[in-house]
């Protein structure tokens, strides 16, 4: 595991560390992978790293994970300088290449066969573990959760979810960092939350779900990822938190708890986060209908998702993250409106050879914005509000497409298969396929800002350094497929030699900046149909 982490540190990519474990003795791989994931989770919490697009941040987390695996004590894991010094004091040894554990296992397998068979029979016929908690089916949707709109507010609940509940949750991160915790104070905080009238005043079901969740939270808070009961207790807590969100919705209250404590998505940071539901919206595709929640963060803790929206197996409804969209509006959209170029990169290539494309992209997006904002452009407040509305709608369509795709069997597009010939069944490749569908659908369904969506995606492919993300490959496929549909000539594959040729990518995107909204949307719809081998159903609100 230490050698695997060393490889990941060198590449600034946690997936490189995971892949390195595929070469070790097969009998040890499963346990090694589990221990590695636990160490990475503990390191993520202890270092407080939230931006995994920075190579230095990724290396910091991986070095901290190595120290955790070694059992090194007394190191402040949130301090990158201290972690670097402690890590460099320990030189990892190369892993053994002989399958020693497999040989030993083979020698003792016959002698233990009878014992194993007897134990298996006991497991099969003996008592089952009935303590695992399973989330019951949510109550039928009512009010705005059935028809759409703005849910009810309760200032008392907002105070609990925005301040007192996060204060208890953050004690878990304190434990991860090896800092002392006042157990008596934490127990008193949990007891106060159990008896808080905010949740009790909205019916017995919500009150019971809240108390049961807090009981499980109390058990979870004393555990670490390396502990035996960590995974089981985390799964129970996740289900209990989901039930609280279900019961809040049943009371028509606009609050949501996001328990990201077991996920392994690279853009999802571990923690328990609380949100206010600003709006319940619905996206339609012919006869299908997808409910989407528009969320604003309540708690002030660090971490959470660094993306504009989320759809996952754990989340019942797709969500749009309004705080992240506000940041995009303030730092990217409004500057473009007043003449700034589109920021396609920050290195020397972007400053020189990429600058003409950045300026052309800014001009194209500006034309879209001026047409969409119309007279609102005369007022900064109205322009900001209208731009937010348009971006939220576009992201809502993206996340709704993810939800629709979960119920379908998507074809595996040939361009992705060529880029990932040996990895098409791994999580990275699967996520890339679904992102490809969602981005093309988003562009095809975006009445006002397809240029903004196209270049927001494409900028991933211009970035250098840090771990590779799905959007980099998706951007290449989207741009090449749309350019072919628009009749834009290509100088050759954008991806060659395992790297993205930024000059070729820019040469395809440049002419697209002069195409109309209708042309871009039509090209995206045609590309989706070709890649996924069936017509695209456009989305609308």
Helix axes 183-194, 165-176, angle to 10 degrees: 150
Q: What is the pTM of this model?
A: 0.76
Determine the distance from the C-alpha atom of residue 69 to the mean position of all C-alpha atoms in its chain, rounded to a whole number. Answer: 25
Q: Residue 181's pLDDT is what?
A: 72
What distance in Å separates the CA atoms of residue 537 and residue 541, rounded to the nearest whole number? 13
Question: C-alpha angle 501/397/417, rounded to 5°?
Answer: 40
What does DSSP assign to residue 376? G
Q: Are residues 453 and 495 in the same domain?
A: yes
Residue 370 lies in a domain: yes
Q: Are residues 331 and 433 in the same domain?
A: yes
Q: Residue 131's pLDDT is what?
A: 65
Q: Are residues 291 and 392 in the same domain?
A: no
What distance in Å separates the CA atoms of residue 449 and residue 521, rounded to the nearest whole number? 10
Q: Are residues 309 and 174 in the same domain?
A: yes
Q: Are residues 282 and 333 in the same domain?
A: no
Q: Residue 466's closest CA among 306, 327, 286, 359? A: 306
Residue 100 lies in a domain: no
Place of tokens 């009371």: 251
Contact predicate 358/344, CB 8 Å: yes
Q: Residue 355's pLDDT is what?
A: 96
Number of domains in the chain: 3
Helix axes 165-176, 26-47, angle to 10 degrees: 120
Contact predicate 537/403, CB 8 Å: no
Q: Are residues 292 and 332 in the same domain?
A: no
Radius of gyration of the chain (CA): 25
Structure-token pair, residue 388:
């937010």
Question: Where is 116: in which H helix or E strand?
Answer: helix 100-125
Q: Are residues 298 and 340 in the same domain?
A: no
What distance in Å separates the CA atoms of residue 1 and residue 27, rounded to the nearest whole number? 14
Q: Are residues 361 and 493 in the same domain?
A: yes
User: pLDDT in tens for each of the 541 residues of the chain?
Assistant: 888 888 888 878 777 777 777 666 655 766 777 778 777 777 777 777 766 667 788 888 889 889 888 888 878 888 888 888 888 877 554 444 445 555 544 554 444 444 434 443 333 344 444 567 889 999 999 999 999 999 999 999 999 999 999 999 888 766 556 667 778 888 999 999 999 999 999 999 999 999 999 999 999 988 887 888 888 998 999 999 999 999 999 999 999 998 876 555 555 556 789 999 999 999 999 989 999 999 999 988 765 556 899 887 667 899 999 999 999 999 999 999 999 999 998 889 999 999 999 999 999 999 999 999 999 999 999 999 999 999 999 999 999 999 999 888 889 999 999 998 767 778 889 999 999 999 999 999 999 999 999 999 999 999 988 788 899 999 999 999 999 999 999 999 999 988 999 999 999 999 999 999 999 999 999 999 999 999 999 999 9
Q: Residue 3's pLDDT is what?
A: 87
Contact predicate 61/79, CB 8 Å: no
Q: How far is CA 514 from CA 181, 266, 404, 506, 509, in A?
A: 60, 35, 32, 13, 10
Q: Residue 352's pLDDT is what?
A: 94
**pLDDT per residue as tens digits for the range 296-355:** 999 887 655 568 998 876 678 999 999 999 999 999 999 999 999 999 988 899 999 999
Residue 94 lies in a domain: no
Residue 131 lies in a domain: no
What does DSSP assign to residue 303? -
Contact predicate 192/165, CB 8 Å: no
Q: How far is CA 251 from CA 153, 238, 293, in A?
A: 11, 20, 16
Residue 435 lies in a domain: yes
Contact predicate 155/201, CB 8 Å: no
Q: Are residues 316 and 335 in the same domain?
A: no
Structure-token pair, residue 48:
């407080």
Question: Where is 145: in which H helix or E strand?
Answer: helix 144-147
Among 52, 73, 88, give the residue marking a domain's end: 88
Structure-token pair, residue 43:
């390191």
Among 320, 347, 369, give the residue marking a domain's end: 320
Residue 107 lies in a domain: no
* Ramachandran sector of residue 317 (left: φ over 0; alpha: ψ -120 to 50; beta: rest): beta
Q: How far is CA 57 from CA 78, 170, 271, 299, 480, in A?
A: 11, 21, 18, 23, 32
Q: Which ranges of 251-290 would DSSP assign to H, the alpha helix?
A: none
Q: How far is CA 384 from CA 336, 361, 412, 541, in A?
A: 12, 20, 39, 21
Residue 455 lies in a domain: yes
Question: C-alpha angle 362/366/368, rounded to 5°?
Answer: 125
Q: Residue 539's closest CA among 411, 407, 417, 400? A: 400
Q: Are residues 304 and 353 in the same domain?
A: no
Q: Are residues 361 and 444 in the same domain?
A: yes
Among 298, 320, 342, give the residue marking a domain's end: 320
| Structural domain harbouring 211 | 151-320
Q: Are residues 200 and 307 in the same domain?
A: yes
Residue 449 lies in a domain: yes
Q: What is the DSSP string of 441-486?
A: HHHHH-SS-HHHHHHHHHHHHH--SS---HHHHHHHHHHHHHHHHH
């Amino acid at each position: 595991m230490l050698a695997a982490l060393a490889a990941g540190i060198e590449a600034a990519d946690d997936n490189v560390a995971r892949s390195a474990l595929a070469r070790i003795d097969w009998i040890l791989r499963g346990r090694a992978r589990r221990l590695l994931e636990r160490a990475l989770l503990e390191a993520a919490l202890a270092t407080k790293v939230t931006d995994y697009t920075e190579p230095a941040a990724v290396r910091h987390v991986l070095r901290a994970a190595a120290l955790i695996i070694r059992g090194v004590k007394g190191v402040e894991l949130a301090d990158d300088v201290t972690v670097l010094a402690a890590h460099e004091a320990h030189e990892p040894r190369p892993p053994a290449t002989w399958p020693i554990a497999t040989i030993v296992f083979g020698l003792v397998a016959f002698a233990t066969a009878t014992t194993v068979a007897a134990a298996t029979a006991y497991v099969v016929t003996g008592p089952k573990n009935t303590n695992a908690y399973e989330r019951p089916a949510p109550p039928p949707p009512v009010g705005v959760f059935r028809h759409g709109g703005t849910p009810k507010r309760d200032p008392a609940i907002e105070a609990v979810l925005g301040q007192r509940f996060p204060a208890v949750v953050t004690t878990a991160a304190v434990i991860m960092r090896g800092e002392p915790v006042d157990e008596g104070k934490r127990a008193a905080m949990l007891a106060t939350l159990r008896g808080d009238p905010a949740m009790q005043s909205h019916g017995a079901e919500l009150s019971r779900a809240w108390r049961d969740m807090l009981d499980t939270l109390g058990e979870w808070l004393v555990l670490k990822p390396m502990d035996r009961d960590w995974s089981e207790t985390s799964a129970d807590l996740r289900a209990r938190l989901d039930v609280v969100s279900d019961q809040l919705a049943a009371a028509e209250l606009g609050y949501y708890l996001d328990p990201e404590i077991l996920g392994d998505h690279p853009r999802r940071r571990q923690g328990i986060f609380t949100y206010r539901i600003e709006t319940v919206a619905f996206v339609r595709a012919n006869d299908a209908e997808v409910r989407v929640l528009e969320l604003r963060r309540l708690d002030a803790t660090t971490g959470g998702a660094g993306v504009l929206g989320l759809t996952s197996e754990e989340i019942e409804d797709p969500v749009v993250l309004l705080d992240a969209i506000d940041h995009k509006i303030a730092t990217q959209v409004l500057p473009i409106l007043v003449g700034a170029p589109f920021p396609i990169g920050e290195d020397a290539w972007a400053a020189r050879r990429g600058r003409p494309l950045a300026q052309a992209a800014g001009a194209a997006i500006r034309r879209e914005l001026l047409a969409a904002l119309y007279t609102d452009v005369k007022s900064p407040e109205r322009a900001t509000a209208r731009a937010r509305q348009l971006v939220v709608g576009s992201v809502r369509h993206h996340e709704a497409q993810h939800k629709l795709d979960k119920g379908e069997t998507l074809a595996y597009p040939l361009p992705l298969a060529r880029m990932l010939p040996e990895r098409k069944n791994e999580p990275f490749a699967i996520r890339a396929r679904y992102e490809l569908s969602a981005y093309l659908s988003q562009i095809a369904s975006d009445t006002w800002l397809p240029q903004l969506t196209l270049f927001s995606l494409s900028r991933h492919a211009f970035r250098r350094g840090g771990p590779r993300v799905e959007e980099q490959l998706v951007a290449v496929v989207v741009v090449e497929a749309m350019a072919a549909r628009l009749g834009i000539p290509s100088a050759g594959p954008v991806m060659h030699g395992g790297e993205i040729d930024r000059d070729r990518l820019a040469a395809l995107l440049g002419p697209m900046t002069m195409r109309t909204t209708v042309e871009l949307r039509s090209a995206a719809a045609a590309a989706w149909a070709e890649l996924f081998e069936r017509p695209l159903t456009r989305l609308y609100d």
